[in-house]
A and B are shown apart, each in its own frame.
Chain A
Amino acid sequence: MRHSHALQVGPVAFRLGSEWRQPIEALKQLYAGYPAPDGPCDFTVRLEAETPWRRWLRPAVAIRGDYTLPDAVPMALAHGLLAAEMGMNLQMALGQKRYLLLHASSVERDGKALLMTGASGSGKSTLSAILGEQGWRFMGDEFALLDMDDGRLHPFPRAVSLKNQAVLVLEEIVGGDRFGPVLRNTPKGTIRHLRPNEEAVARMREPARPVLILFPQYGRGLQAAVRPVGQAEIFVRLTQASTNYVALGEPGYGALCRLVTGTPARAIDYSSTEAALTLIDGLWGEFA
Chain B
Amino acid sequence: MRDAALLVAALREPRSAERLGAGEWTSLISMARAESLMGSLAYRLQGLALPEKVERLLEDARNDAEQVRRQALWEAEMARRALAPLGVPVLLLKGTAYAAAGVSAGLGRSIGDLDILVPRESLGKVETALLGAGWEWVKEDAYDDLYYRRWMHELPPLIHRERDRMIDVHHTILPLTARSTPDASALIADSVSLESGLRVLSPPDMIVHAAAHLFADGDLAGGLRNLWDIDRMLREFRTRDGFWSSLGDRARLHQLGREVSRALRLAEDLYGTPVDRRLAGRRASFDRLFKRRLLARNGWGQTTDKPLRLAFYARSHWLRMPPLMLARHLWTKARK
Name A's B-contacting residues (CB within 8 A): 1, 13, 15, 17, 37-42, 44, 46, 48, 65-67, 95, 97-98, 247-249, 251
Q: Chain A interface: which of B50-58, B110-118, B193-201, B203-211?
A: B50-58
Chain A residues whose CB sits within 8 angstroms of the CB of B53 once the complex forms: 13, 38-40
Q: Which residue of chain B lies nearest to A252 when distances are taken between CB atoms in the complex?
A: B67
Known A-B contacts A97-B61, A97-B63, A98-B60; the reply to A40 vs B300 at CB < 8 A is no
Known A-B contacts A1-B300, A17-B300, A46-B300; the reply to A40 vs B29 at CB < 8 A is yes
- Proximity bits, B1-32, A CB within 8 Å = 1, else 0: 00000000000000000000011011001100
Q: How distant is the Cα of A39 from the Cα of B25 in the complex, in angstroms? A: 9
Whether B232 sits at the interface, judged by CB under 8 Å, is no
Residue among B33, B60, B70 making CB contact with A66, cutoff 8 Å? B33
- What count of chain B residues pass the 8 Å CB interface test? 24
Residue among A44, A249, A251 making CB contact with B30, cutoff 8 Å? A44
Name B's A-contacting residues (CB within 8 A): 22-23, 25-26, 29-30, 33-34, 51-54, 56-57, 60-61, 63-64, 66-67, 70, 300-302
Q: How distant is the Cα of A182 from the Cα of B304 in the complex, in angstroms? A: 36
Whether the pair B301, A42 counts as a contact (CB closer than 8 A) is: no
Whether the pair A66, B63 counts as a contact (CB closer than 8 A) is: no
Chain A residues whose CB sits within 8 angstroms of the CB of B26 once the complex forms: 15, 40-41, 44
Q: What are 8 A-B contacts with C-beta separation under 8 Å?
A: A15-B26, A39-B51, A40-B25, A44-B300, A66-B30, A97-B60, A98-B56, A247-B64
Chain B residues whose CB sits within 8 angstroms of the CB of A65 once the complex forms: 301
Residue among B25, B56, B67, B301 making CB contact with A248, cutoff 8 Å? B67
Known A-B contacts A39-B53, A98-B60; the reply to A249 vs B67 at CB < 8 A is yes
Q: How distant is the Cα of A15 from the Cα of B22 in the complex, in angstroms? A: 12
Q: How distant is the Cα of A44 from the Cα of B299 in the complex, in angstroms? A: 10
Chain B residues whose CB sits within 8 angstroms of the CB of A40 once the complex forms: 22-23, 25-26, 29, 51, 53-54, 57
Whether the pair B29, A249 counts as a contact (CB closer than 8 A) is: no
Chain B residues whose CB sits within 8 angstroms of the CB of A251 once the complex forms: 63
Whether the pair B301, A66 counts as a contact (CB closer than 8 A) is: yes
Residue among A44, A95, A247, A249 making CB contact with B301, cutoff 8 Å? A44
Nearest CB of chain A from residue B322's CB, rounded to whole Å: 30
Q: Which residue of chain B lies nearest to A46 when distances are taken between CB atoms in the complex?
A: B300
Chain B residues whose CB sits within 8 angstroms of the CB of A97 once the complex forms: 60-61, 63-64
Q: How distant is the Cα of A278 from the Cα of B51 in the complex, in angstroms? A: 47
Chain B residues whose CB sits within 8 angstroms of the CB of A247 once the complex forms: 64, 67
Nearest CB of chain B from residue A31's CB, rounded to whole Å: 18
